[in-house]
Amino acid sequence: MSELAQLHDQVRSCPLCRLSNTRTLAVPGEGPEGPQILFVGEAPGYHEDQQGRPFVGAAGQFLESLLGSIDLRRTDVYITNIVKCRPPDNRDPQPDEIAACRPYLDRQIALLEPRLVVTLGRHSMQIAFPGATISRIHGQPKRIGDVVYLPMFHPAAALHQQRYRSLIEEDFLKIPALLAELSTVEPEDDPDEAPEQLSLF
């Protein structure tokens, strides 16, 4: 069993926060090991909680459509959330719940070694852009160590408001050029250096 599979087993039996008391199934994430892109959403919803898979509802269908717009399939990328269990009534994840789950996400990033981490929504954005406002920084990549983070609106928001839909569609179209440029950029020598704001677009 791979380290990633072992981590997934830990997530499925995790007792570290109150969400473990109300979940049906934990949702570790899914996708290939060693993907170029890791997508990080916010929390599982009803359908995800029932199936133990991320982004399987309407937002997931939109995400698959967005991937298709840049000639990718769901199986080409890894998808997870900052919180691995569904909050009751789909409420926002609480800070202590995010903190309890954060080591799992950090370990996933370390094991998967993606070139690009795309954060979906304002809560997941905080892992790389603490204190920032998503309406101001969406679509603007930033390097932290060897990883580049790209903040986007959550697909679920785009389903409800057309302006978000067009913004996330535009931001998605930046991904191929960003990946192409990253393939020619050397990794940072010192991961402890201050994050660098990329000026690719």
Predicted local distance difference test score (pLDDT) of residue 200:
52
Q: Give the whole-angstrom CA distance, residue 86 versus residue 92.
A: 10
Segment 102-109 shows an average pLDDT of 98
Q: Give the whole-angstrom CA distance, residue 60 versus residue 2.
A: 26
Helical axes 3-12 vs 95-112, angle rounded to 10°? 160
Q: Give the whole-angstrom CA distance, residue 28 versus residue 76.
A: 17
The residues spanned by each domain of the chain are 3-186
What distances in angstroms separate CA 14 from CA 3, 36, 100, 155, one per listed residue? 16, 27, 10, 27
Q: Give the whole-angstrom CA distance, residue 174 versus residue 70.
A: 9
Tokens for 146?
């060897």
Segment 149-168 shows an average pLDDT of 94
Could you report the per-residue pLDDT of 56-79, keeping only the tens digit for each? 999 999 999 999 999 999 999 999
Segment 116-130 shows an average pLDDT of 97
pLDDT at position 194 over 50: no
Share of the chain above pLDDT 90, in %: 88
**Main-chain dihedrals φ then ψ at residue 117, nearest 5 degrees:** -110, 120
pLDDT at position 195 over 90: no
Predicted local distance difference test score (pLDDT) of residue 184:
80
3 state SS for 137-177: HCCCCEEECCEEEEEECCHHHHHHCHHHHHHHHHHHCCHHH
Segment 92-109 shows an average pLDDT of 97
Predicted local distance difference test score (pLDDT) of residue 105:
98
CATH topology of domain 3-186: Uracil-DNA Glycosylase, subunit E (3.40.470)
pLDDT at position 126 over 70: yes
Confidence of residue 193 (pLDDT cuts 50, 70, 90): very low
Token pair 């269908």: residue: 61
Segment 88-103 shows an average pLDDT of 97
The pTM for the full model equals 0.92
Confidence of residue 201 (pLDDT cuts 50, 70, 90): very low
